[in-house]
Amino acid sequence: MGRKRRRRFEMDSIDEINMTPLIDLTFLLLIVFMITMPLVEYSTQVSTPAMNSAPMPDAKDSQIIVVDKNGHYFIGKNRISEAELIETVNNLKISNPDLKLLIKGDEAVEFGKVIELMKIIKNGGFEDVSLITQEE
């Protein structure tokens, strides 16, 4: 009879799960993701010019193309050549015709490089292109 009680007592202790560490871990992960997501969104550091403008459209309806101060093109974190950019723009137009392209150019980049990018986008079939600037 003593054995039966001991087994039942052991089983009772297994039935209880302490949820506090799990909740702490969940909040910790939430905080980490809240801090890192803005850094992931703008991975290439460029200094955009200041200007009064309308707010940016939703990220789900747009794609950002970055031109850094050296004139290199980036989509996300990936540096791409001009030929790859032309192919990517054409593929984006085919896959999502309503997509809005946003150009984020460093203020130190040559003006001609931004115009060249706008030509590539225009030749890819996009009519809606916007420049990203900082608020004054």
CATH topology of domain 59-131: Nucleotidyltransferase; domain 5 (3.30.420)
Stated pTM of the model: 0.56
Task: Give pLDDT, residue 11.
Answer: 59
With tokens 């939703």, the residue in question is 58
Predicted confidence (pLDDT) at residue 98 exceeds the cutoff of 90: no
pLDDT digits (tens, 9 = 90+) for 37-63: 776 665 566 655 555 655 655 556 788
